[in-house]
Amino acid sequence: MERKIILISDDVMLRQNLQPLVAEWQFINSPRLLPDLLLNRDSQLMVILDLDQYYATTTPSIDLGVLRQQFQGLLLGIHRQALADELACQLLVAYHFDDLLDLSQPSTLLGARLQQKVWRYFHQQAVVQPSALLEVGPLKIDFQHYAVTVDQQRLNLGPIDFRLLVFFIQNENVVLTRVQIAEGVWRNGKDSTLRSIDSHISKLRKLIERDAKQPQYLKTVRGFGYIFNLAPT
């Protein structure tokens, strides 16, 4: 079974520092958490969030509450700058991070802590299987069966539309351009992909909105792109 670490960071040096500590794992750098990676049930998956970069951004691209609810796997935070006690407690208690790794520690100790977390999690996983159900607002998403329901009604979503919805949920209240959507869902920014985004969003609106012509959740931001909000004003 392939083992992957999703490093949510665009810091290439951070990846180079971590890779030797868990050499048997495949590292994937991504500034965002791509939805199709979470849907890959054939991989053992770990997520490491660059906390320095996350909190340096005025508008973080990831909702930590949604991330933890959606991703049931091993979730670690990593940092160089000292974390305030209040913030560390929030990450561990409110967002249920499995550990917070300090890069100022010697690499041997950092590697040992990382390996111990890996062993502990996957040892428990052999006995207890995590839930694959996410509830966000009126939506219920079953990742095991790739099913979405709204008000007890199952939606007829194809694979692309499913990933598109997951991507919007991951980035709730964030204005996304077509290029960002194309890269996040299709992993490319080709013109043909950009042109198809509007039709997929139109289909998604017809499925999740009471009135697709006056959307409450998935709105167009003229001149920029789209924004998804499950608590419309």
Domain with residue 99: its CATH number is 3.40.50.2300
Indicate whether 15 belongs to any domain.
yes
Average pLDDT, the chain: 81
Q: Report residue 45 as tokens.
A: 């998956």
Residues 34 and 100 in one domain: yes
Residues 119 and 7 in one domain: yes
**Which residues constitute the domain of residue 197?**
133-228
What is the structure's pLDDT at 230?
Answer: 77
* Consecutive H or E run containing 203: helix 191-208
Residues 104 and 157 in one domain: no
Q: Going by C-beta distance under 8 Å and a sequence separation of 6 or more, which residues neighbour residue 81? A: 52
Specify whether the CB–CB gap between 105 and 79 falls below 8 A.
no
Domain boundary among 108, 125, 142: 125
Instruction: Give the residue, 4 or 1, on which the prediction is more confident.
Output: 4
- Low-confidence winner among 42-46, 166-170, 184-188 (lowest mean pLDDT): 42-46
pLDDT band at 34 (very low <50, low <70, confident <90, very high): low
Residues 28-34 have a mean pLDDT of 71
Indicate whether 233 belongs to any domain.
no
Rounded Cα distance, 173 and 230, in Å: 9
Residues 166 and 91 in one domain: no
Domain boundary among 103, 125, 147: 125
Q: What is the largest CA-CA distance in the chain?
A: 58
In the predicted structure, residue 100 carries a pLDDT above the cut 90 = yes
Number of domains in the chain: 2
Domain boundary among 102, 125, 148: 125
Residues 50 and 91 in one domain: yes
Instruction: Give the residue, 66 or 91, on which the prediction is more confident.
Output: 91
Q: Report residue 193 as tokens.
A: 């992909």
- Low-confidence winner among 8-17, 18-27, 130-139, 180-189 (lowest mean pLDDT): 130-139
What is the structure's pLDDT at 41?
Answer: 47
Residues 96 and 16 in one domain: yes
Residues 102 and 140 in one domain: no
Q: Is the pTM of this model over 0.75?
A: no
User: Sign of the C-alpha dihedral, residues 135, 184, 34, 54?
Assistant: negative
Specify whether the CB–CB gap between 217 and 160 falls below 8 A.
no
Residues 138 and 116 in one domain: no
Residues 12 and 86 in one domain: yes
Indicate whether 150 belongs to any domain.
yes
pLDDT band at 130 (very low <50, low <70, confident <90, very high): very low
What is the residue-wise DSSP string for 126-165? TT-PPP-EEEETTEEEETTTTEEEETTEEP---HHHHHHH
